[in-house]
Structure 1
Amino acid sequence: MDNLALCDANNFPLTPITFLKRAAECYPYRTSIIYGQTRFTWPQTYYRCCRLTASLLSLNIRKNDVVSVLAPNIPAMYEMHFAVPMAGAVLNPLNTRLDAKSITTILRHAQPKIFCIDRSFETLSQEILHLLSFDDSKLNMLVIFIDETDFPKTISSSELNYESLIRRGEPTSSMVAHMFRVQNEHDPISLNYTSGTTADPKGVVISHRGAYLSSLGAIMGWEMGTCPVYLWTLPMFHCNGWTFTWSVAARGGTNVCIRHPLDLLNRSGPVEMLTGGSSPPSALVKKVQRLGFHVIHAYGLTEATGPALFCEWQDEWNRLPENQQLKLKARQGVGMLTLAETDVKNTQTQESVPRDGKTMGEIVIKGSSVMKGYLKDPKATLEAFKYGWLNTGDIGVIHPDGHIEIKDRSKDIIISGGENISSVEVENVLYKHHKVKEAAVVAMPHPVWGETPCAFVVLEKGETNQGVREDSLVTSERDLIEYCRENMPRYMCPRKVVFLDELPKNGNGKFLKPVLRNIANGLVVSDENTISSKIVQQHKEKRRVNSLTSRL
């Protein structure tokens, strides 16, 4: 059998861009995109992408050239997930929530040949281009503006426009055939930058093969049927929309593109909802499910090319009490089929932790859908891949049924008197309190135990700790602390609660715990076990943090 050679018939490089060609052939009358009054079928989307690719090639875009795009969830953003790699180039979707300085840092690092910008970000783009004008590297890139499909803006003859690129593209049959075959399935398809909450963002290089496998894994993990209707609430810039940009095409689905959130209370039937990252509070899941949403939990990261774990629901769980079902639903789940392995390792010994749902370790994964590495950062790449796994930095446990549950980020674990405290577990208890809207827990110094939990809380609208006497503030804080003591071991309870109008977040909406840790480091536990602090001014957050004295 060893003498059976590979050939074109049995060795075709894997790439998700072939999903577009298949969708056009298999679902010729199916609507591919809905955006306001705009409607496209799959053959129309295929045709537009081919024309855009032809135009990119005419602009001398070649293999591994980077094309950056700053746009919301609009048809152009979707089309570029196919057209750019069809030209052999690498798509670089940018976070629309970042400021000009952050985007400039990414552009300097990525060195794109083309920068596509939605017209709504024209002012931001002017700031970016101004900052780049002082760059010694003299980044030479074409700037292309994206206007509304239905209402294109009149442009000057010197300005390049997205729709004009599509109109002028002239793909030949031989050119189209070449578009859908990559030279190597390990070639890069996308360059996605991490959120960078602790340092400058890192450029994660995703391969065609990784994107293909992750897309299929997401379809199976979420049990996505044929011709689904997918509402784009998840930003496409966020790890290529968890690869659903390509998955929807594979299933011949309809992409509902939106610039802003929609009111989903008026709808025809139940809605499948996928949530990722840290587990949503049980109270929130219960509320959402009663509105007719069926919630499935998943876990992934940019370095894993999107989803890695799915909480695969078991039929027997439907017979369990609701509260127990919610606990099961909060688990991140089992590795998706297109991954080779997932595990939880002891960070000291690198041995697998017992499957007891209690012993914590670092979640690690391996498989062909994992990133190629970090762009221009071999040291960080080696660190991420040490011991032959992708080390996620997330701390979790494995239950006897094989389901993994996240307990915390490794840097967010609080070590108090030698005991590991999961900030996520404390936050989950706080979220169950009817007055708590948002909660983030970090470590604060303790003279005896080293560290102790400190909770930063945003109250529900209508609840406030402002404008009342100081003793009322103490009572309000004590209420939450006593509530925690009634619902978790005493050593895990926050020793301090700080009320904020809003928690600091990064461009992806994640809490900026380093900012909160800096505040907590200014809080001191005295010998009499009294916590005191001055009013803290968050730099750049422009919020007043009202701290008080309470004896615990």
Structure 2
Amino acid sequence: MGWMKDETGLDKRAANHVPLTPLSHLRRAASVFAGREALVHGDRRFTYAEYHARVSQLASALAKAGVAPGEVVATVIPNTLAHVESCFAIPACGAVLNTINIRLDVDTVAYILDHGEAKVVLADSQFLGLVEAAIKRMEGPAPMVIEVGAPEAGHPASGNYPEYEAFMADGDPGFDWIMPQDEWESLALNYTSGTTGRPKGVVYHHRGAYLMTMGTPISWNMGLYPKYLTIVPLFHCNNWNHSWMMPLVGGTIVTCRDVTAKAIYDAIADEGVTHFGGAPIVLNTIINAPKDHRRDFDHVVEVFTAGAPPPAATLAAIEPLGFNVTQVYGLTETYGHITETTWNGPEWDGLEQAEKAAIKARTGVAMPMMEHVTVMDEHLVQVPMDSQTAGEIMIRGNSVMKGYLKNPEATEEAFAGGYFHSGDVAVQHPDGYIQITDRAKDIIISGGENVSSVEVEGVLMHHPAVSLCAVVAKPDDKWGEVPCAFVELKEDEEVDEAVLIAFVRERLAGFKTPKLVVFTDLPKTSTGKIQKFELRKVAKGM
């Protein structure tokens, strides 16, 4: 064993061991990049020194309001200044950040506030009604509401709650951040729809987020001082951890409240945006932008895309417009992206455009912060890398969740055999590149949002005319996938498509609503199980 048999005095101590946390990036940037532009929100601009001071004020104000370390602070905010600041300020006061999807229905928001036991919720004025309605449906104690006014977007503060800027002003810009004593401490709580109607609470730790922020710039060819546009919602895997990453590289965050082609082109042309992430629907938005929304720019914009495998045709159409697209893959449970289609320059540069697009449509290989991402069979045996044998994507690494909040059974199932089971079916090519072939357990990915077919079916089954139903993904040029419902009606009952769609829309978020309803006898096995694979074939051909 050599000298390692005697390590007397070689102990962890304050000088040589500090818990890893993305909070360190902004504390460092406040000194190293003090005068550099950190945030752009419309006409408002902030340096890193100002950004750090505002985050400290908000953290201090939350602590003064009674938020204790380990308690949950929720947000229901689009991609705005307040949301970016909250991502640092909430953990800086020792609390756990819980960003809630602004597109969810009232009942689900109420469930999340209850399940996560939110002490405070920061609510954008546009979504204040959603938050108020959700609080009324809560079973547990109601959280304190802090309203984030958005008069520039036509949503002024109501005056019924403490307003964000005034609330922050009561804080101390010199507040001493409450840093984690253990990098395994919980940093954030995110909810994913998973395979059931009720979302699961996915818990992140500081270590995983820190390593995500260190590995991503390598994969993204990102040097110092990028200009980053917040297209990925901050409620999706905490913006894929990109907002936590930007201070690491002295980058500028440009907020984007409403994702439109005009907003994207304007940000690139006016602010010099160099990087952004987004679902394939964002790529289609750019490709199909009307001429008067397009702007000229003289640099290549690096884009990470995820949410559903982008069609090769989409990739082929967007790159000539000035965008270099890299497909990445991940889940809420993995802090966002953990594979990428790393480009093998010498071997692939000379290929035809169609061949390049086909390669870029692959799911890719493990990113630097991951230990092992591969495709295995049900016995956790590596499948042959022959581009044909299907298996499940299995994941191991530090950027994997701690587990599901208050759900040890689901956590154990997800981690069985020492890997995180993604639930996604894929093949692996001879060069090791993974390519998703199907979504296991019938999750539909619509515009980057997870839609549980079970949840939609559950609502449809409540309609008095419905006898049986099945919901599958239908390919869609705009959204990637949309829910398509196949319905058997009860004998002597009649109902039309519009009525059923309206019935679901009244009970679920709009993106979960079927875009097409087909009345038919459902194909079944001899035991009565609905053959969804047959329905997917039908939907694909429609």
TM-score > 0.5, shorter chain as reference? yes
The structural deviation recorded for 1:126 is 2.6
Q: 1:266 aligns with which of 263, 285, 295?
A: 295
Residue aligning to 2:106: 100
1:400 matches 2:400 = no
The CA distance in 1 between the partners of 2:480 and 2:13, in whole Å, is 47
1:8 matches 2:8 = no
The 8 Å contact of residues 33 and 256 in structure 1, kept in 2 or not, is answered as: yes
Write out aligned runs for 1:250-265 (5 A). 250-262=248-260, 263=262, 264=265, 265=294
The 8 Å contact of residues 230 and 254 in structure 2, kept in 1 or not, is answered as: yes
1:340 is paired with a residue whose SS is strand
Distance verdict in 2 for CA 1:367–1:161, change over 3 Å: same
1:519 matches 2:486 = yes
The CA distance in 1 between the partners of 2:61 and 2:441, in whole Å, is 46
The structural deviation recorded for 1:398 is 1.6
Residue aligning to 1:278: 308
Residue aligning to 1:294: 324
The CA distance in 2 between the partners of 1:190 and 1:350, in whole Å, is 30
Distance verdict in 2 for CA 1:48–1:534, change over 3 Å: closer
Q: 2:83 aligns with which of 74, 77, 82?
A: 77
The structural deviation recorded for 1:140 is 3.7
The CA distance in 2 between the partners of 1:167 and 1:161, in whole Å, is 10
1:169 matches 2:171 = yes
Q: 1:322 aligns with which of 341, 353, 356?
A: 353
Amino acid of the structure 2 residue aligned with 1:205: V
Distance verdict in 2 for CA 1:280–1:521, change over 3 Å: farther
The CA distance in 1 between the partners of 2:97 and 2:172, in whole Å, is 21
2:101 is paired with a residue whose SS is coil
Residue aligning to 1:243: 241
Residue aligning to 1:360: 390
1:160 is paired with a residue whose SS is coil
Residue aligning to 2:530: none
Residue aligning to 1:343: 374
The 8 Å contact of residues 475 and 481 in structure 2, kept in 1 or not, is answered as: no
The CA distance in 2 between the partners of 1:459 and 1:7, in whole Å, is 56
The CA distance in 2 between the partners of 1:312 and 1:457, in whole Å, is 26
Write out aligned runs for 1:208-247 (5 A). 208-247=206-245
The 8 Å contact of residues 187 and 208 in structure 1, kept in 2 or not, is answered as: yes
Amino acid of the structure 2 residue aligned with 1:281: P
Amino acid of the structure 2 residue aligned with 1:30: R
Q: 1:51 aligns with which of 37, 49, 57?
A: 57
The 8 Å contact of residues 474 and 481 in structure 2, kept in 1 or not, is answered as: no
The structural deviation recorded for 1:171 is 4.9
The 8 Å contact of residues 53 and 173 in structure 2, kept in 1 or not, is answered as: no
The CA distance in 2 between the partners of 1:230 and 1:118, in whole Å, is 22
Distance verdict in 2 for CA 1:278–1:126, change over 3 Å: closer
Write out aligned runs for 1:478-497 (5 A). none
The structural deviation recorded for 1:34 is 0.9
The CA distance in 2 between the partners of 1:534 and 1:369, in whole Å, is 48
Of 349-358 and 183-192, more deviation after overlay is shown by 349-358
Q: 2:341 aligns with which of 300, 307, 311?
A: 311
1:113 is paired with a residue whose SS is strand
The 8 Å contact of residues 38 and 150 in structure 1, kept in 2 or not, is answered as: no
The 8 Å contact of residues 488 and 519 in structure 2, kept in 1 or not, is answered as: no
Distance verdict in 2 for CA 1:458–1:354, change over 3 Å: closer
Residue aligning to 1:39: 45
1:32 is paired with a residue whose SS is strand
2:486 is paired with a residue whose SS is helix
Write out aligned runs for 1:127-138 (5 A). 127-132=133-138, 135=139, 137=140
The structural deviation recorded for 1:548 is 9.5
The structural deviation recorded for 1:159 is 2.8
The CA distance in 2 between the partners of 1:457 and 1:55, in whole Å, is 47
The 8 Å contact of residues 228 and 253 in structure 1, kept in 2 or not, is answered as: yes
1:370 matches 2:376 = no
Amino acid of the structure 2 residue aligned with 1:337: P
Amino acid of the structure 1 residue aligned with 2:295: N
The structural deviation recorded for 1:144 is 0.4
The 8 Å contact of residues 454 and 520 in structure 1, kept in 2 or not, is answered as: no
Distance verdict in 2 for CA 1:521–1:545, change over 3 Å: closer
Of 369-378 and 21-30, more deviation after overlay is shown by 21-30
2:235 is paired with a residue whose SS is coil
Write out aligned runs for 1:463-474 (5 A). none
The structural deviation recorded for 1:6 is 0.9
Amino acid of the structure 2 residue aligned with 1:34: V
The CA distance in 1 between the partners of 2:334 and 2:472, in whole Å, is 32
The structural deviation recorded for 1:546 is 6.3
Residue aligning to 1:529: none
Amino acid of the structure 2 residue aligned with 1:143: V
The 8 Å contact of residues 207 and 372 in structure 1, kept in 2 or not, is answered as: yes
1:186 is paired with a residue whose SS is coil
Residue deviations 1:433-473, cap 9 Å, x none?
Answer: xxxxxxxx9xxxxxxxxxxx99846689xxxxxxxxxxxxx
Aligned residues: 447
1:192 matches 2:221 = no
The CA distance in 2 between the partners of 1:85 and 1:27, in whole Å, is 21
Amino acid of the structure 1 residue aligned with 2:228: Y
The structural deviation recorded for 1:267 is 4.1
The structural deviation recorded for 1:79 is 0.6
RMSD: 3.1
Amino acid of the structure 1 residue aligned with 2:113: L
The CA distance in 2 between the partners of 1:76 and 1:127, in whole Å, is 22
Residue aligning to 1:470: none
Task: Give 1 or 2 for the bigger CA radius of gyration.
Answer: 1
Which residues of structure 2 form unaligned runs of 5+? 266-293, 447-452, 454-470, 505-512, 522-537
1:358 is paired with a residue whose SS is coil
The CA distance in 2 between the partners of 1:548 and 1:53, in whole Å, is 56
Residue aligning to 1:438: none
The CA distance in 2 between the partners of 1:9 and 1:266, in whole Å, is 51
1:90 matches 2:119 = no
Residue aligning to 2:202: 204
1:519 is paired with a residue whose SS is strand
2:146 is paired with a residue whose SS is strand
The CA distance in 1 between the partners of 2:371 and 2:56, in whole Å, is 34
Distance verdict in 2 for CA 1:267–1:395, change over 3 Å: same
What TM-score do you get using the length of structure 1 for normalisation? 0.75
The 8 Å contact of residues 197 and 512 in structure 1, kept in 2 or not, is answered as: no
Distance verdict in 2 for CA 1:364–1:520, change over 3 Å: farther
| Aligned sequence identity (%) | 36
Distance verdict in 2 for CA 1:77–1:408, change over 3 Å: same
2:135 is paired with a residue whose SS is helix
The structural deviation recorded for 1:274 is 0.9
The CA distance in 2 between the partners of 1:297 and 1:121, in whole Å, is 32
Distance verdict in 2 for CA 1:113–1:286, change over 3 Å: same
The CA distance in 1 between the partners of 2:94 and 2:317, in whole Å, is 46
The CA distance in 1 between the partners of 2:182 and 2:434, in whole Å, is 34
Distance verdict in 2 for CA 1:32–1:118, change over 3 Å: same
1:63 matches 2:69 = yes
The 8 Å contact of residues 149 and 163 in structure 1, kept in 2 or not, is answered as: no
Residue aligning to 1:380: 410
Distance verdict in 2 for CA 1:360–1:166, change over 3 Å: same
The 8 Å contact of residues 53 and 83 in structure 1, kept in 2 or not, is answered as: yes
What TM-score do you get using the length of structure 2 for normalisation? 0.76
The structural deviation recorded for 1:60 is 2.1
